[in-house]
């Protein structure tokens, strides 16, 4: 019975996240953190930061990867299934309804106005999530330089209307992390001899 309650709680938690978040995976990060870390305490703040790093670095949307991981951690394979289903189901249902009535739906002026407002709200959610997650980032030379370089490049590339996949930023950070921390460990090992 307890297992069933856990599965239903996972499903309901991620269903609410999927239902009330507009703008995709990044916009869901604050809600996922709030529900998973603060409300249910399924993960610590450090584990949540690691979760988002891993979820972004692996194939698939960050929100789906996060739901799958949390569900698995809390209740195994069935937990992963129910959490992922809960997250995806609202979007699926909404997309089906919109697809059925798309032409009529988009001609309504209040719907178009709502989408403009939602875009602004999503931008704020993403910025807030970035600020909140950056508070847990270890403050060292490498992390600060990497953060400034990536933010600077993103701003520059968006002003010149040039798009580049975020995977290249992730790969660059991965390689620089190996080089920086590898050299740092070699230096520490060499100085201790």
Q: Which positions ≥6 away from 20 have C-beta within 8 Å?
A: 31
CA distance 137 to 57: 17
Is 85 within 8 Å of 11 (Cβ atoms)? Answer: yes
The per-residue pLDDT for range 108-117, each reduced to its tens digit, is 888 778 878 8
Higher pLDDT, 45 or 89: 89
CA distance 156 to 95: 34
65 and 42 assigned to the same domain: yes
Overall residue count recorded for the chain in this entry: 193
The per-residue pLDDT for range 76-92, each reduced to its tens digit, is 999 999 999 999 999 89
101 and 175 assigned to the same domain: no
96 and 13 assigned to the same domain: yes
Q: Which spans in the chain are helix H?
A: 2-20, 25-33, 45-57, 62-100, 102-106, 109-134, 141-159, 166-191
174 and 191 assigned to the same domain: yes
168 and 102 assigned to the same domain: no
Using pLDDT thresholds of 50, 70 and 90, give the confidence band for residue 37: very high
- Its domain, for residue 121, covers 2-137
113 and 142 assigned to the same domain: no
122 and 189 assigned to the same domain: no
What percent of the chain clears pLDDT 90, i.e. is strictly above it? 27
143 and 117 assigned to the same domain: no
């Amino acid at each position: 019975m307890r297992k069933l309650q856990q599965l239903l709680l996972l499903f309901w938690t991620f269903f609410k996240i999927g239902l009330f978040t507009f703008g995709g995976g990044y916009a869901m990060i604050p809600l996922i953190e709030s529900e998973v870390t603060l409300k249910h305490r399924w993960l610590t703040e450090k584990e949540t930061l690691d979760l988002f790093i891993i979820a972004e670095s692996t194939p698939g949307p960050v929100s789906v990867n996060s739901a799958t991981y949390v569900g698995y951690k809390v209740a195994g394979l069935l937990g992963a299934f129910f959490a992922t289903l809960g997250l995806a189901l609202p979007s699926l249902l909404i997309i089906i309804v919109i697809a059925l009535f798309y032409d009529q739906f988009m001609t309504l002026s209040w719907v178009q106005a709502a989408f403009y407002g939602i875009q602004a709200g999503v931008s704020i959610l993403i910025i807030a999530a970035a600020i909140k997650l950056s508070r847990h980032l270890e403050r060292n030379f490498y992390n600060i330089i990497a953060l400034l370089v990536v933010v600077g490049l993103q701003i520059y590339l968006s002003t010149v209307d040039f798009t580049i996949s975020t995977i290249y930023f992730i790969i660059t950070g991965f390689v620089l992390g190996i080089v920086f921390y590898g050299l740092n460990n070699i230096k520490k090992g060499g100085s201790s001899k």
